C-alpha cells in the first residue's frame, strides 16, 4: 500500500513538474511574440507617420476597421504580425532543439523573453516620451487656475483715451511668420522671402530692442487658426471651445461674456469696420465682430451686393488680395471723412495654405516654389499698401498694426527650417505715439497684441494688462516672459473652470447649416439645367504613407474657357467638414490637387468630391461628382 501511494505521489509531482515546464515555455514564447509585435508596431507607426500625435492615435483607435485600406492592413501584417509570428516560431524551435541541453535551454528560456521585453520597453518609452503621453493624460483630467488667476477682465480696467483719438488700421496677414526672412534677419531660411516686411519691421516697432533681427509673437494653444488667432488678439484669450475650431458660424452668440478690443473702441466712439475678401460668416467671424464692436462687415457678400466685383466672381476664398487692398483704400478714404475716429480691420488670404493663391502679379523669383513666390508677392502688396497709407492726410493721426494671424499650416514649406528655430508670428507697430519703456528684446505672445494695440492708440491702461495680454510698451513682464512658452502652452491645454463657464452656452450639436454647408448646397441648387459642361475626374487610391489622395481633372469642355477649377470635398453626410480646394493647372492643360487626411483629422471613410469650373465672369458650374476615400 505504501509503495502504491509513493508511486501515486511520484506521478502527481511529475505531472505538476511537466505542467510548470509547459507553462514556462508558453510564457517565454508568448512574451517574445508579444514584445516583438509591440516593438515592430511602434517602429511601423513612426515609419508611416512622421507627425504622429496622441489625438490621431485616439481617433484611429475609436474609428471602425471597416473601410480601412487593404494596402495599409497588408503593410502592418508584413511588418509587424509576420515578425511576431517568425519570432514565435523561431523561439519555439530553438527551445525544442535545446530540450536535451539543460544548461543552455535554461539560459535561452530566460534570456529571450528578457531581451524582447527590454526592446519593447525601450520602444514604448520612446513613443511615450515623443508623444508626451504623460502630459496628455494629465491634461485630460486636470483643472488648473492659470487663466482664472491671470485673466484681467477689460470691463473692470480703467482705460483713458486721449482727447484727440487716433485711428487704427489693423492688418492680419494670413499665415505670415518671421520665419520667412533670412537667418541674418532673424528668419529661418537662406533666402529672405519678405524683404520689404523685414525692412518695415526694422524701421518701426516689433519690440526687438536694439536688435535688427525680426521679433514677433508666439501663437499659443488654440490661436493657431484664423478665427482662433483673431479672437486671441482681440480678447487676450484662447478660443477654447467644445466644437471644431471653425464651427462657430453654427452658434447664436460668440462669447457674450467677454470684452474685446471692438467693444472698447465702440465705447470710445470709434466706427469699426471689418474688411475681408471671403465670406465673413465662415468660422463665426461675422458673429464675433458684430457682437463685439458692432463692426460694419465688408466681405465677399458685401462686395457682390455693392457691385465692387462682378456677379458670380469667385477666386480662391472669394476675391484676391489685390482687390482687397483696392477696396481698403476706398474704405479708408470714406471713413477718414467722418469726424469719428475709425478702426479698419483687414484680413488677407492669398498666403493661405496649401501653396497660396498665385495671382497675375506674382512672378517666379523662386522658380517652381509657388508658396515662396506667393509670399514674396504678398510682401510687395502689403508694403505698397502701407506706403499709400503713409501718403494720406489721415496718416499723421493713425496707428497701423501689421501682424500674422498664425504660423503657416502649409504641409512642407518650413521643412528646411531648423527644428530648433522658434517660429513666431510677424508683428510690427507703425506710427504709435509712444515708445517702449524697455529697450531689450521682448518675449511675447499674440495675446499681448490686445493691450499693446490699445496703448498704441495713445490710451492709458490702468495696470497695463488686458485679458492674458500685457502692454508691450510698458516694462511689465508678459506671461510668456514669466512662465516660458512651453509652460504657458501646457497650462492653456488643461481644463479651466473659467473657460468652461464662458463656453457653457455653446451648442455642441447645432442643427442649423454652417456656412460651408450653405455654400455647397446653394451652388448645387442654383445649377442651371441647361449647363452641360463636364470634365473627367480621376481620384487616386489613398496613399497612407503620405496621408493623401490626389484628384486629376481632364477633358474639360473646350468652349467654356474656365479661369479656375475648384473641388469641394467632404465626408460627413451633413457636409459639416466640407473643404474647398483650388486645382493647379498642369502643362498639358489638365488640373490636379491633393487632399490630405490631416485636413479632416484623419477620418476614415468615403469622401464626396464635387468638381466645379469657374467661368471668366466668376460664375461656377458643376462639372463632375466623384468619390475618394481615406483609410
pLDDT of 336 over the 60 cut: yes
Regarding whether 564 and 580 lie in a shared domain, the answer is yes
Predicted pLDDT of residue 179? 96
- Answer whether residue 221 shows pLDDT above 50: yes
DSSP secondary structure letter of residue 600:
G
**In this structure, is residue 9 part of a structural domain?**
yes
- Give the CATH number for residue 589: 2.60.40.3760
Q: Could you tell me if 412 and 555 lie in one domain? A: no
Decide if pLDDT at 547 tops 60. yes
Q: Are 368 and 355 in contact (CB under 8 A)?
A: no
The residue-averaged pLDDT of 186-215 equals 94
Determine the average pLDDT of the residues in 439-466.
Answer: 96
Range of the domain at 560: 515-630
Confidence of residue 559 (pLDDT cuts 50, 70, 90): low
Residue where a domain stops, chosen among 107, 140, 173: 140
Q: What is the pLDDT of residues 38-90, one digit of tens each?
A: 777 777 666 654 444 454 444 344 333 433 334 455 666 777 777 778 876 77
Query: 153 with 122, same domain?
Result: no
**Selection from 208, 149, 234, 186 nearest residue 482 by Cα:** 149
What's the domain count of the chain?
3
Give yes or no: residues 159 and 106 share one domain: no
Amino acid 11: pLDDT: 58
pTM above the 0.85 mark?
A: no
User: What is the pLDDT, as a whole number, of residue 50?
Assistant: 44
Question: Does 507 fall in a domain?
Answer: no
pLDDT value of position 173: 96
Phi first, then psi, for residue 64 (nearest 5°) are -70, 155
The reply to whether 91 and 191 lie within a common domain is: no
Residue 396 has pLDDT above 90, yes or no: yes
pLDDT at 377: 95
Window from 1-5, 496-500, 554-558 with minimum mean pLDDT:
1-5
pLDDT band at 449 (very low <50, low <70, confident <90, very high): very high
CATH number at residue 246: 3.40.720.10
For the chain, the maximum distance between any two Cα atoms, rounded to a whole number of angstroms, is 122
Same domain, 107 and 255: no
Do residues 555 and 533 lie in contact, with contact meaning Cβ atoms separated by under 8 Å?
Answer: no
Query: In this structure, how many other beta carbons lie within 10 angstroms of the beta carbon of residue 1?
Result: 5
Task: Report the 3 state secondary structure along 50-109.
Answer: CCCCHHHHHHHHHCCCCCCCHHHHHHHHHHHHHHHHHHHHHHHHHHHHCCCCHHHHHHHH
C-alpha closest to that of 620 among 518, 537, 524: 524
Same domain for 152 and 128: no
Cβ partners under 8 Å of residue 102, min gap 6: none
pLDDT at residue 198, rounded to an integer: 96
In angstroms, the CA 553 to CA 141 distance is: 48
pLDDT exceeds cutoff 90 at 363: no
Q: Are residues 130 and 166 in the same domain?
A: no
Between CA 163 and CA 64 the distance in angstroms is: 64
Which three cell numbers, joined as nine digits, stand for 540?
487616386
Q: Residue 466 domain-assigned?
A: yes
492, 493, 555 from 145: Cα distances, Å: 10, 12, 60
- For residue 473, pLDDT over 80 is answered with yes
Retrieve residue 193's grid coordinates.
522671402
Higher pLDDT among residues 193 and 222, named by residue = 193
Is 535 a domain residue?
yes
Q: Is 421 left (phi over 0), alpha (psi -120 to 50) or beta?
A: beta
The three-point CA angle 71-76-81 to 5° equals 135
Confidence of residue 603 (pLDDT cuts 50, 70, 90): confident
**Which of 115, 140, 165 marks a domain boundary?**
140
Looking at residue 255, what is its pLDDT?
84
The verdict on 494 and 437 lying in the same domain is yes
Mean pLDDT of the chain, nearest integer = 82
pLDDT value at position 64?
39
Which of residues 97, 117, 140 is at a domain's end?
Answer: 140
Q: How far is CA 484 from the centre of its chain?
A: 22
Residues 319 and 214 in one domain: yes
Per-residue pLDDT at 568: 87
Residues 147-194 pLDDT 10s: 999 999 999 999 999 999 999 999 999 999 999 999 999 999 999 999
How do beta strands 216-217 and 296-298 pair? unpaired
Instruction: Round to whole Å and give the CA distance between 344 and 336.
Output: 11
Amino acid at each position: 500500500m505504501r509503495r502504491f501511494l509513493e508511486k501515486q505521489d511520484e506521478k502527481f509531482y511529475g505531472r505538476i513538474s511537466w505542467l510548470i515546464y509547459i507553462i514556462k515555455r508558453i510564457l517565454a514564447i508568448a512574451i517574445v511574440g508579444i514584445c516583438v509585435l509591440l516593438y515592430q508596431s511602434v517602429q511601423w507607426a513612426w515609419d508611416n507617420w512622421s507627425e504622429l500625435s496622441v489625438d490621431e492615435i485616439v481617433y484611429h483607435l475609436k474609428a471602425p476597421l471597416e473601410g480601412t485600406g487593404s494596402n495599409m492592413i497588408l503593410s502592418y501584417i508584413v511588418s509587424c504580425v509576420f515578425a511576431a509570428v517568425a519570432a514565435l516560431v523561431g523561439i519555439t524551435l530553438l527551445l525544442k532543439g535545446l530540450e536535451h541541453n539543460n544548461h543552455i535551454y535554461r539560459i535561452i528560456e530566460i534570456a529571450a523573453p528578457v531581451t524582447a521585453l527590454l526592446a519593447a520597453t525601450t520602444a514604448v518609452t520612446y513613443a511615450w516620451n515623443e508623444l508626451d503621453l504623460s502630459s496628455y493624460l494629465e491634461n485630460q483630467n486636470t483643472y488648473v487656475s492659470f487663466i482664472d488667476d491671470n485673466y484681467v477682465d477689460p470691463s473692470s480696467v480703467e482705460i483713458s483715451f486721449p482727447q484727440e483719438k487716433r485711428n487704427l488700421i489693423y492688418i492680419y496677414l494670413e499665415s505670415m511668420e518671421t520665419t520667412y526672412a533670412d537667418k541674418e534677419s532673424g528668419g529661418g531660411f537662406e533666402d529672405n522671402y519678405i524683404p520689404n516686411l523685414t525692412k518695415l519691421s526694422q524701421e518701426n516697432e516689433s519690440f526687438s530692442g536694439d536688435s535688427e533681427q525680426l521679433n514677433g509673437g508666439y501663437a499659443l494653444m488654440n490661436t493657431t487658426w484664423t478665427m482662433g488667432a483673431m479672437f486671441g488678439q482681440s480678447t487676450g484669450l484662447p478660443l477654447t471651445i467644445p466644437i471644431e475650431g471653425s464651427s462657430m458660424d453654427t452658434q447664436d452668440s460668440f462669447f457674450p461674456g467677454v470684452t474685446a478690443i471692438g467693444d472698447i473702441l465702440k465705447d470710445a466712439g470709434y466706427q469699426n469696420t471689418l474688411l475681408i475678401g471671403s465670406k465673413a460668416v465662415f468660422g463665426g467671424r461675422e458673429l464675433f465682430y458684430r457682437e463685439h464692436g458692432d463692426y460694419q462687415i465688408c466681405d465677399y457678400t458685401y462686395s457682390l451686393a455693392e457691385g465692387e466685383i462682378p456677379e458670380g466672381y469667385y477666386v480662391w476664398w472669394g476675391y484676391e488680395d489685390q482687390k482687397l487692398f483696392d477696396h481698403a483704400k476706398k474704405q479708408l478714404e470714406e471713413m477718414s471723412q467722418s469726424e469719428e475716429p475709425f478702426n479698419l480691420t483687414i484680413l488677407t488670404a492669398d498666403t493661405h495654405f496649401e501653396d497660396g493663391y498665385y495671382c497675375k502679379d506674382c512672378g517666379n523669383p523662386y522658380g517652381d516654389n509657388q508658396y515662396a513666390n506667393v509670399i514674396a508677392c504678398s510682401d510687395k502688396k502689403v508694403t505698397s499698401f502701407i506706403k499709400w497709407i503713409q501718403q494720406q492726410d489721415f496718416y499723421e493721426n493713425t496707428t497701423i498694426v501689421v501682424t500674422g494671424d498664425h504660423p503657416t499650416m502649409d504641409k512642407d514649406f518650413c521643412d528646411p527650417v531648423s527644428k530648433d528655430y522658434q517660429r513666431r508670428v510677424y508683428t510690427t507697430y507703425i506710427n504709435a505715439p509712444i515708445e517702449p519703456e524697455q529697450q531689450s528684446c521682448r518675449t511675447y505672445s499674440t495675446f499681448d497684441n490686445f493691450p499693446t494695440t490699445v496703448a498704441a492708440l495713445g490710451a492709458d491702461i490702468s495696470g497695463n494688462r488686458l485679458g492674458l495680454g500685457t502692454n508691450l510698451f510698458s516694462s511689465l513682464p508678459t506671461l510668456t516672459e514669466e512662465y516660458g512658452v512651453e509652460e504657458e502652452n501646457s497650462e492653456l491645454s488643461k481644463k479651466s473652470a473659467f473657460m468652461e463657464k464662458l463656453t457653457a452656452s455653446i451648442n455642441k450639436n447645432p442643427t442649423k447649416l454652417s456656412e460651408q454647408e450653405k455654400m455647397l448646397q446653394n451652388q448645387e441648387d442654383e445649377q442651371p439645367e441647361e449647363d452641360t459642361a463636364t470634365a473627367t475626374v480621376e481620384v487616386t487610391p489613398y496613399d497612407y504613407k503620405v496621408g493623401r489622395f490626389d484628384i486629376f481633372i481632364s477633358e474639360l469642355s473646350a468652349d467654356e474657357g474656365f479661369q479656375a477649377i475648384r473641388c469641394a470635398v467632404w465626408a460627413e453626410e451633413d457636409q459639416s467638414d466640407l473643404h474647398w480646394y483650388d486645382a493647379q493647372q498642369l502643362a498639358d492643360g489638365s488640373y490636379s490637387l491633393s487632399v490630405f487626411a490631416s485636413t479632416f483629422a484623419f477620418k476614415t471613410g468615403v469622401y464626396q468630391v464635387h468638381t466645379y469650373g469657374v467661368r471668366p465672369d466668376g460664375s461656377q458650374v458643376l462639372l463632375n461628382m466623384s468619390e475618394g476615400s481615406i483609410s
